Amino acid sequence: MKTKEGIGVSPGVAIAPAAIVDAEEFDIPERHVAPELSGREINRLEKAVEISQNEILDLRKSTSEQIGKEIASIFDFHLGLLKDTTLLKKFTDAINDDHVTSEYAVAAVLRAYAKEFLDMPQYLADRVKDVYDIEKRLLRNLVGQSRQALKHLESDRILLAHDLTPSQTAGMDREHVLGLAIDAGGQTSHTAIVAKALGIPAVVGLNSVTGEATAGDMVIIDGHRGTVIIDPDEKTLAHYRVLAKQQVEFIHSLDSLKDLPAVTLDGHEINLLGNIEFPAEAASVINKGGTGIGLYRTEFLYLGAESEPTEEDHYNAYKEVIDLCKGRPIVVRTLDLGADKQTQSRARTPERNPFLGCRSIRFCLQELPMFKTQIRALLRASVDADVRMMFPLITNLRELRQAKAIVRDVAEDLEEDGIEHRHDIPLGMMIETPSAALQCNAFAQEVDFFSIGTNDLIQYTLAVDRANEKVAPLFTAAHPAILRLIKEVIRAGQRYEVPVSLCGEMGGDVVFTMLLMGLGVTTFSCTPPAIPEIKQLIRSVTMEQAAKVARRVMTFDGDQEILNYIRVATRKVLPDAYTNF
């Protein structure tokens, strides 16, 4: 039994055998198995060799059809290697004699083989790339499921991965993936956000979990405490089964709040909305008692899709959300692609610093046909619906004005074409950068609403990559600089009568709810599973209490001091909460 600590990003306990994904980019450590398990390792190896051979045959066929026979012949060498009995014997000898995993046997034998090639004349040395290719293919088929298989698992699994892209997370088999354990990532990486939205327990920032488990090992995930246990003993398994039951009971205990308003003990009403990534999630928001959608991350239409969504794809997605919401307000954010979302993996030359690069509104302003397609669909879909349009990552007034001008252009085109569309859609922007927060008075005079995106606001204010586990402890919403920026934005909203909501992950963390209410936040938008607990807190305090917490917190100058204070304050209000503050 091995226990690993990481960052719990999506609560809940999950217990299932491991499936390991994406072994391509990292080393396979030397792992030993008991001699009696050598047979199992050889079976796995034989299966991986067979799958790899079939894959190469398919590739050879399609390449031959599409490009030509000569190019396709490069795969003959790959096939030859996989049929080379001397090489295959070396794999099995390593497993039988050294009692290592089949992954390690493949990696070690092929690395040695590659070295031999490197010492040969140039024309043969070039073949080393093919050896590496075969190694990757075998490893992928051994330790993991292929990307395709991620979408269709045959039975319940906990996925162990070095990293998962938001596209992979969005496209995975939701029925059979019970939990995620990931080497990389931070609290607000998009993989974490999607896991939370789907209610899949997840722990990230584990550094080397993939090197410490073999496919099929039993794994426990405690997404609440950030713990992953590999190969647990019976006592531990029994303990976690009880924990899992308690969590489910706690979640159900909040069901009765669903139809009650999010109102404080002294009668102040708070708007409690949900964040969604996929249209169907709108139903979860409503089931959990949310009164609308405060953030629809529309770029997820692109993630996991095989081809670029058409105007009709956009239109149908928006219509689905509108139908599910039945008149409730919906804030649709325009495409926030880039950085960790899609563009890099497809780019010919990936950006050096994608989080500071061509992402979000910048990408849309450079890809006008794509941007206009989305806006067209949205204006068409939102006739007679309470839909608002929001631009992400605005950093200066010029960008905002350009984006607004494009909406006007698209509306004119629709008018000219005689197509029914929305004429007066409210236009808002996210406050996600220090520049936007510091210039909020000017922005307030040009938008209909603000939404504070604390995930990026923290990343850009504290200079901490939100998806980098190495700096994850520095990523905190409790930093006084963040709280001051939030306060500034709320004040500007009050001054110019521009509604302000908060839709970053901070809004779904109950520890911050009282503080944010005290700072003046009256609209929260959070991941659907967090709605009941946030509502419970709102209904358990007075606005005066919240204001007092905020006043006190603003006198502190360290994030740890702030965090300790709000944890204690929250625990006093919610003594029975299951959440580990």
The residues of the shown chain that bind ligand PEP, judged by CB under 6 A, are 193, 295, 297, 336, 432, 453-456, 503-504
Q: Among Mg ion, ligand PEP, none, what binds residue 78 when CB lies within 5 to 8 Å by partner kind? A: none
The catalytically annotated residue of 358, 440, 503, 526 is 503
Q: Among ligand PEP, Mg ion, none, what binds residue 521 when CB lies within 5 to 8 Å by partner kind? A: none
Q: Decide: 145 and 172 in contact? Cβ < 8 Å.
A: no
| 334 vs 522, beta carbon nearer ligand PEP | 334
- For Mg ion, the binding residues in 418-457 under the rule CB under 5 A are 432, 453, 456
Phi, psi of 523 (to 5 degrees): -130, 120
Q: Among ligand PEP, Mg ion, none, what binds residue 200 when CB lies within 5 to 8 Å by partner kind? A: none
Cα–Cα distance for residue pair 42/94, rounded to 1 Å? 10
Asked whether position 223 contacts Mg ion by CB under 5 A, the answer is no
Q: Among Mg ion, ligand PEP, none, what binds residue 297 when CB lies within 5 to 8 Å by partner kind? A: ligand PEP
Q: Which residues have CB under 8 Å from 382's CB, separation 6+?
A: 318, 322, 332, 422, 425
The catalytically annotated residue of 190, 224, 314, 421 is 190
Q: How far is the CB of 338 from ligand PEP (least distance, A)?
A: 10
Cα–Cα distance for residue pair 15/443, rounded to 1 Å? 48
| 49 vs 194, beta carbon nearer ligand PEP | 194
Sequence length of the chain is 581
| 295 vs 406, beta carbon nearer ligand PEP | 295
Write the DSSP assignment of 261-281 as a string of letters.
--B-TTS-B-EEEEEESSTTH
Active-site residue flag, 503: yes
| 210 vs 525, beta carbon nearer ligand PEP | 525
Give the helix/strand (H/E) hosting 18: strand 13-21
Q: How far is the CB of 476 from ligand PEP (least distance, A)?
A: 14
Q: How far is CA 555 from CA 479, 515, 561, 565, in A?
A: 12, 13, 10, 12
Phi, psi of 340 (to 5 degrees): -85, 5
Report the side by side order of strands in the sheet with 177-182: 2-5, 227-230, 218-222, 13-21, 157-161, 177-182, 202-204, 7-10
| 288 vs 341, beta carbon nearer Mg ion | 341
Cα–Cα distance for residue pair 286/76, rounded to 1 Å? 56
- The residue of the chain with the least Cβ separation from ligand PEP equals 453
| 168 vs 459, beta carbon nearer Mg ion | 459
| 226 vs 504, beta carbon nearer ligand PEP | 504
Helix, strand, or coil (residue 161): strand
Q: Among ligand PEP, Mg ion, none, what binds residue 206 when CB lies within 5 to 8 Å by partner kind? A: none
- The residue of the chain with the least Cβ separation from Mg ion equals 456
Q: How far is the CB of 327 from ligand PEP (least distance, A)?
A: 24
Q: Which residues have CB under 8 Å from 44's CB, separation 6+?
A: 102, 142, 215
Q: How far is the CB of 479 from Mg ion (least distance, A)?
A: 17
Write the DSSP assignment of 185-231 as a string of letters.
--TT-HHHHHHHHHT--EEE--SSHHHH--TT-EEEEETTTTEEEES
Strands 7-10, 202-204: pairing is antiparallel
Q: Among ligand PEP, Mg ion, none, what binds residue 340 when CB lies within 5 to 8 Å by partner kind? A: none
Q: Which residues have CB under 8 Å from 132's CB, separation 6+?
A: 110, 114
Q: How far is the CB of 205 from ligand PEP (least distance, A)?
A: 17
Q: Among Mg ion, ligand PEP, none, what binds residue 519 when CB lies within 5 to 8 Å by partner kind? A: none
Q: Among Mg ion, ligand PEP, none, what binds residue 324 when CB lies within 5 to 8 Å by partner kind? A: none
Cα–Cα distance for residue pair 430/427, rounded to 1 Å? 11
| 191 vs 284, beta carbon nearer ligand PEP | 191
Asked whether position 166 contacts Mg ion by CB under 5 A, the answer is no
Closest among 105, 103, 104 to 93, alpha carbons compared: 105
Q: How far is the CB of 340 from ligand PEP (least distance, A)?
A: 9
Tokens of 250: 């706690």
Q: Among Mg ion, ligand PEP, none, what binds residue 454 when CB lies within 5 to 8 Å by partner kind? A: ligand PEP
Give the single-character DSSP code of 33. -
Interface map 455-494 toward Mg ion (x if CB under 5 A): -x--------------------------------------
Q: How far is the CB of 399 from ligand PEP (least distance, A)?
A: 16
Q: How far is the CB of 390 from Mg ion (least distance, A)?
A: 11
Asked whether position 212 contacts Mg ion by CB under 5 A, the answer is no
Write the secondary structure of 78-133 as one string of H (helix), E (strand) and C (coil): HHHHHHCHHHHHHHHHHHHHHCECHHHHHHHHHHHHHHHHHCCCHHHHCCHHHHHH
Cα–Cα distance for residue pair 286/370, rounded to 1 Å? 31
| 459 vs 570, beta carbon nearer ligand PEP | 459
Q: How far is the CB of 81 from ligand PEP (least distance, A)?
A: 44
Q: What residues line the site for Mg ion (CB under 5 A)? A: 432, 453, 456
Residue positions annotated with a catalytic role: 190, 503
